[in-house]
């Protein structure tokens, strides 16, 4: 797998529930440790599995170019060791098109057998009859106790999707620029951050990059800054929300944040940061391996979000999987995803390959995380994640928030108008 | 000749009218058979989707019931869409965008065609480059221009270095310039086709006519105004329609360069309908937008037909 191919790991999803409960509990909450699929695929789900000599093709959709991924291929190899006549046919769908194509697949009778995607859309897809619940398989999964509730996506009592890893963003800083600009320490509060941006700009460098696209990426990068002021869906306060927008407005007007970010996602911003012209970029752990491997010409590091009055809180994301409605062998598809995403072996493989953090507690306690300064910072962010409310409207909220942010950063609306729109459109339960 | 004519007349049997009628029916049946494939294709690929779109516009359709029943809600979607300030703004943008693309495509295309009409080596090179530009995939063009127009791109670097502007202009990231930039790129990609077509039309004008005008003392501008433009008018009409329809359907550049933003400042009606359908999953509202867009196209098409008919008279 190429680094670029893992761009999709940057696609974030909502991690509902208590943020601190995620699997990266670094206090080593090591669980049962049963890792082999032969063990984890047991009892009830095994009963529904077809015989080992079943001949079929499983059609998977993903927005990651996973056919080249080592971990993905390794999982398929393990799976094929038990089901040698099952062919796994992976189709790559662009991230931005995934949900609409899934909805369209219902019309064209071409629903895939399984999908790796943004599980924030799982409730919508369940309503549309595109995916089916995985409740019986999940309930009989021996290691389900390893997973925090926050990565198990439900609609009522029905389990729709489970995340195999966690992604989040943090602040990458160019230490070389900070040194030249006279910023002696990495900012830890919003005020310090603002002051650092002013110094960086005065020294002739670019300031801060974060995604402001009119979609989930824009939402994913901006919402943490509202968390820092105690704001969240369903409870946005007009005055406070406007304050956060005004902060950004000052930074944009002063040229600390280029307006180009309205068209940039994290990967675009990552490329700009790599040019060595910007002091800060909000970036995801999924880009770590690529960035460290590229050996930038400057010294850089990773820091937690600058704290606002309500602290510093990121948002958790990562891909989940679901089983297509009407697939002939749902247990077989679930079993494949188990190999790909749910075993300790698979999650550590993904961690090693991409920097995406495990959702299993036993994998999250792996020493490779704390021994890596970058990953340790992300793990700290994960331990303090903000949590969106668990609402079926979240899928729509992501795009709406992204559009408001995009309009504001581009200058289509002012801070008070943006705050009005947020309060009016994103406060419904 | 003399023998043949009466032979034909005499050979007509008494029942000729009846047989002519049978021939008429056979001819009609043959026509129907030949028309059937095209009619079926038209029905399946055009009329049925239009029927679905209209039905969707009159129904409450979301992701939840896309595969199920579509409750009929009358004109609610249409009235809501017409009252939506975003849709109104986008409609105005769309019309301005179409007008701009139409005028500049024809004007720039004509000027370039005049410049390139002579068979010189440099003109051949220029035309080859134009064909290359015209043949480029829109996604490639959009991505290249996104880079060129970004704040850190070469265009801004040149403008700042030349002291034309004090700081980079975020062409694609501010409402004042985003749609303008897309229109410019649409022209950049579309003008080469216009140049080639107009140039062909100009070369079709008989040399005698141009020579006669010259002998009669017509100045170059008079020749252009009174000889060339009237001669290529049918070509300009067709080119105008193609340009407007192409710009109206234009999706790739918007999608690649701005995603319709910031806000909806660079969206056209078709793009807004796409966003409403496939991002918001409000298929009924998107259907209403599409119906209204279709009406606009209908007006344009009618205007075109009227002009062409008047021209033919």
What SS3 string covers B178-203?
HHHHHHHHHHHHHHHHHHHHHHHHHH
The pLDDT mean for chain A works out to 86
For A256, half-sphere exposure in the C-beta direction (CA atoms, 13 angstrom radius) is 20
Q: A322 and A411: one domain?
A: no
Which residues from B are below 8 Å from A100, CB to CB? Answer: 277-279, 281
Closest chain B residue to the Cα of A259, Cα to Cα: B173
Is A25 a residue whose pLDDT tops 60?
Answer: no
Chosen from A104, A130, A260 to mutate, greatest number of chain B CBs within 10 A: A260
So what's the pLDDT on residue A17?
Answer: 33
Could you report how far apart the first and last alpha carbons of chain B are, in Å? 39
Confidence of residue B245 (pLDDT cuts 50, 70, 90): confident
Let me know if residue A152 belongs to a domain: yes
Q: A304 and A333: one domain?
A: no
Distance CA A286, CA A356 (A): 5
Confidence of residue B22 (pLDDT cuts 50, 70, 90): low
Is A47 a residue whose pLDDT tops 70?
Answer: no
Give the H or E element holding residue A357: strand A357-358
DSSP assigned state of A143: T
Distance CA A391, CA A393 (A): 5
**Burial label, B17 (beta-carbon count in 10 A; 0-12, 13-18, 19+):** exposed
Check B280 against A413: CB less than 8 A apart: no
Check B278 against A100: CB less than 8 A apart: yes
Of A129, A214, A277, the CB nearest to B261: A214
Is A16 a residue whose pLDDT tops 50?
Answer: no
Kindly report the nearest CA distance between residue B105 and chain A, in angstroms: 27
Of B66, B146, B265, the CB nearest to A263: B146
Check B152 against A124: CB less than 8 A apart: no
Q: A280 and A417: one domain?
A: yes
Confidence of residue B205 (pLDDT cuts 50, 70, 90): very high
Burial string for A209-230 (b: 16+ CB within 10 Å, else e) reads bbbbbbbbbbbbbbbbbbbbbe
The pLDDT mean for chain B works out to 89
Confidence of residue A2 (pLDDT cuts 50, 70, 90): very low
Is B11 a residue whose pLDDT tops 80?
Answer: no
Check A410 against B261: CB less than 8 A apart: yes
Find the CATH number of the domain harbouring A334. Answer: 3.40.190.10
Check A411 against B174: CB less than 8 A apart: yes
Which residues from A are below 8 Å from B279, CB to CB? Answer: 100, 215, 399
What range does the domain containing A190 cover? Answer: 169-313+391-425
Distance CA A243, CA A229 (A): 9
Kindly report the nearest CA distance between residue B117 and chain A, in angstroms: 41
Which residues from B are below 8 Å from A125, CB to CB? Answer: 63
Closest chain A residue to the Cα of B63, Cα to Cα: A128
CA dist list (Å): A361 to A154, A285, A374: 20, 18, 19
Give the mean pLDDT of A190-218.
96
Let me know if residue A384 belongs to a domain: no
The per-residue pLDDT for range A350-362, each reduced to its tens digit, is 888 888 899 998 9
So what's the pLDDT on residue B20?
Answer: 56
Closest chain B residue to the Cα of A397, Cα to Cα: B280
Lowest mean pLDDT among A160-164, B43-47, B141-145, B257-261: B43-47
Q: A12 and A141: one domain?
A: yes
CA dist list (Å): A24 to A150, A165, A191, A380, B94: 12, 10, 29, 9, 50
So what's the pLDDT on residue A429?
Answer: 64
Kindly report the nearest CA distance between residue A425 and chain B, in angstroms: 13
Check A124 against B258: CB less than 8 A apart: no
Asked if A61 contacts A98 with a C-beta cutoff of 8 angstroms, the reply is yes
A29 against B37, higher pLDDT: B37
So what's the pLDDT on residue A3?
Answer: 33
Q: A41 and A146: one domain?
A: yes
So what's the pLDDT on residue A48?
Answer: 67
Give this prediction's pTM: 0.83
Let me know if residue A383 belongs to a domain: no
Closest chain B residue to the Cα of A395, Cα to Cα: B280
Confidence of residue B23 (pLDDT cuts 50, 70, 90): confident
Asked if A116 contacts A373 with a C-beta cutoff of 8 angstroms, the reply is no
Q: A322 and A309: one domain?
A: no
Is A96 a residue whose pLDDT tops 90?
Answer: no
So what's the pLDDT on residue B4?
Answer: 44
Is A44 a residue whose pLDDT tops 70?
Answer: no
Kindly report the nearest CA distance between residue A73 and chain B, in angstroms: 31
Domain B79-312: CATH superfamily, name plus number: MetI-like (1.10.3720.10)
Q: A209 and A239: one domain?
A: yes
Tokens representing A345 are 């072996």
Q: A69 and A32: one domain?
A: yes
Q: Three-class SS of residue A148?
A: coil
Let me know if residue A81 belongs to a domain: yes
**Chain B touched by A214 (CB under 8 Å):** yes
Lowest mean pLDDT among A68-72, A252-256, B15-19, B174-178: B15-19
Give the mean pLDDT of A164-191.
96
Q: A210 and A181: one domain?
A: yes
Check B167 against A260: CB less than 8 A apart: no
Tokens representing B264 are 């909806």
Which residues from B are below 8 Å from A107, CB to CB? Answer: 66-67
Q: A18 and A130: one domain?
A: yes
Let me know if residue A385 belongs to a domain: no
Give the mean pLDDT of A67-92.
87
Tokens representing B188 are 């950049």
Let me know if residue A234 belongs to a domain: yes
Distance CA A216, CA A316 (A): 13
Let me know if residue A382 belongs to a domain: no
Percent of chain A surpassing pLDDT 70:
87
The per-residue pLDDT for range A302-338, each reduced to its tens digit, is 999 999 999 999 998 889 999 999 899 999 999 999 9
Closest chain B residue to the Cα of A100, Cα to Cα: B278
Q: State the DSSP string of A65-95.
A: -GGG-HHHHHHHHHHHHH-TTEEEEEEE--G
Asked if A270 contacts A218 with a C-beta cutoff of 8 angstroms, the reply is no
**Burial label, B65 (beta-carbon count in 10 A; 0-12, 13-18, 19+):** middle
Check A258 against B262: CB less than 8 A apart: no
Q: A35 and A156: one domain?
A: yes
Distance CA A29, CA A343 (A): 16
Is A83 a residue whose pLDDT tops 60?
Answer: yes
Give the mean pLDDT of A231-260.
96
Which residues from A are below 8 Å from B66, CB to CB? Answer: 103, 106-107, 128
How many domains does chain A contain in total? 2
Check B259 against A272: CB less than 8 A apart: no
So what's the pLDDT on residue A10?
Answer: 37
So what's the pLDDT on residue B18?
Answer: 53
Judge if the upstream peptide bond of residue B262 is cis by omega within 30 degrees of 0: yes
Is A62 a residue whose pLDDT tops 60?
Answer: yes
Burial string for A365-402 (b: 16+ CB within 10 Å, else e) reads bbeebeebebbebbbbbbbbbbbbeebebbbbbbbbbb
Q: A174 and A321: one domain?
A: no
**Backbone φ and ψ of B175, nearest 5°:** -60, -25
Total beta-carbon pairs less than 8 A apart between chain A and chain B: 100
Residues in chain B, total: 313
So what's the pLDDT on residue A290?
Answer: 86
Percent of chain A surpassing pLDDT 90:
62
Kindly report the nearest CA distance between residue A258 and chain B, in angstroms: 8
So what's the pLDDT on residue A386?
Answer: 85
Kindly report the nearest CA distance between residue A19 and chain B, in angstroms: 28
Kindly report the nearest CA distance between residue B172 and chain A, in angstroms: 7
Percent of chain B surpassing pLDDT 90:
71
Of B151, B260, B279, the CB nearest to A258: B151
Of B67, B170, B263, the CB nearest to A260: B170
Is B1 a residue whose pLDDT tops 70?
Answer: no
């Amino acid at each position: 797998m190429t680094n670029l191919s893992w761009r999709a790991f940057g696609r974030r999803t909502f991690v509902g529930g208590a943020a601190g409960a995620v699997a990266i509990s670094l206090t080593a909450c090591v669980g049962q440790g049963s890792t082999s699929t032969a063990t984890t695929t047991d009892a009830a789900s095994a009963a529904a599995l077809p015989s080992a000599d079943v001949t079929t093709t499983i059609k998977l959709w993903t927005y990651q170019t996973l056919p080249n991924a080592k971990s993905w291929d390794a999982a398929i190899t393990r799976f094929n060791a038990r089901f040698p006549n099952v062919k796994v046919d992976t189709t790559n769908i662009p991230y931005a098109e995934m949900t609409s194509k899934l909805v369209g697949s219902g019309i064209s009778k071409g629903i895939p057998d399984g999908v790796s995607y943004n599980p924030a859309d799982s409730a919508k897809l369940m309503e549309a009859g595109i995916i089916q619940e995985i409740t019986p398989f999940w309930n009989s999964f021996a290691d389900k106790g390893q997973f925090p509730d926050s990565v198990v996506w439900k609609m009522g009592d029905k389990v729709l999707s489970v995340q195999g890893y966690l992604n989040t963003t943090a602040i990458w800083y160019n230490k070389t620029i900070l040194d030249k600009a006279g910023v002696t320490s990495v900012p830890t509060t919003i005020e310090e951050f603002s002051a650092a941006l002013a110094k960086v700009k005065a020294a002739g460098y670019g300031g801060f990059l974060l995604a402001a696209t009119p979609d989930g990426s824009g939402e994913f990068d901006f919402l943490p800054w509202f968390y820092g002021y105690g704001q969240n869906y369903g409870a946005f306060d007009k005055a406070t929300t406007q304050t956060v927008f005004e902060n950004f407005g000052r930074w944009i007007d002063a040229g600390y944040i280029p307006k180009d970010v309205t068209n940039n996602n994290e990967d675009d911003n990552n490329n700009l940061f790599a040019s060595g012209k910007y002091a800060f970029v909000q970036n995801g752990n999924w880009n770590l391996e690529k960035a460290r491997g590229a050996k930038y010409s400057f010294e850089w590091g990773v820091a937690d979000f600058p704290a606002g009055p309500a602290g510093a809180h990121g948002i958790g994301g990562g891909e989940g999987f679901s089983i297509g409605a009407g697939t002939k062998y749902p247990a077989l598809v679930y079993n494949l995803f188990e190999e790909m995403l749910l075993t300790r072996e698979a999650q550590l493989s993904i961690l090693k390959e991409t920097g995406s953090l495990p959702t299993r507690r036993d994998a999250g306690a792996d020493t490779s995380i704390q021994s890596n300064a970058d990953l340790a910072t992300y793990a700290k962010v994960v331990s303090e994640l903000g949590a969106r409310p668990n609402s079926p409207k979240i899928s729509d909220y992501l795009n709406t928030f992204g559009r408001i942010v995009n309009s504001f950063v581009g200058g289509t609306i002012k801070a008070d108008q943006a705050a009005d729109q947020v309060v009016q459109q994103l406060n419904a339960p | 000749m003399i023998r043949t004519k009466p032979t034909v007349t005499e050979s007509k049997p008494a029942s000729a009218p009846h047989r002519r009628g049978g021939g008429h029916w056979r001819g009609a049946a043959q026509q129907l058979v030949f028309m059937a494939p095209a009619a079926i294709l038209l029905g399946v690929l055009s009329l049925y989707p239009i029927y679905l779109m209209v039905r969707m516009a009159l129904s409450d359709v979301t992701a939840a019931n896309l595969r199920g029943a579509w409750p009929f809600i009358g004109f609610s979607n249409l009235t809501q869409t017409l009252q939506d300030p975003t849709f109104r703004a986008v409609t105005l943008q769309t019309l301005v965008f179409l007008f701009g693309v139409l005028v500049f495509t024809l004007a720039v295309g004509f000027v370039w065609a005049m410049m390139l009409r002579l068979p010189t080596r440099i003109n051949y090179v220029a035309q080859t480059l134009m064909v290359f530009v015209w043949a480029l995939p829109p996604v490639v063009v959009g991505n290249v221009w996104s880079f060129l127009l970004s704040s850190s791109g070469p265009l801004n670097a040149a403008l700042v270095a030349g002291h034309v502007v004090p700081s980079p202009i975020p062409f694609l990231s501010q409402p004042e310039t985003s749609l303008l930039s897309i229109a410019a790129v649409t022209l950049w990609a579309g003008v080469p086709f216009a140049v080639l077509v107009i140039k062909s039309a100009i070369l079709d004008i008989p040399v005698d006519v141009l020579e006669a005008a010259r002998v009669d003392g017509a100045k170059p501008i008079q020749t252009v105004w009174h000889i060339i433009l009237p001669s290529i008018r049918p070509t300009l009409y067709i080119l105008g329609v193609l340009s407007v329809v192409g710009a109206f359907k234009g999706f790739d550049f918007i999608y690649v360069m701005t995603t319709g933003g910031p806000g909806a400042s660079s969206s056209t009606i078709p793009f807004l309908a796409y966003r409403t359908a496939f991002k918001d999953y409000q298929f009924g509202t998107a259907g209403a937008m599409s119906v209204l867009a279709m009406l606009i196209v209908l007006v344009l098409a009618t205007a075109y037909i009227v002009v062409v008919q008047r021209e033919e008279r």
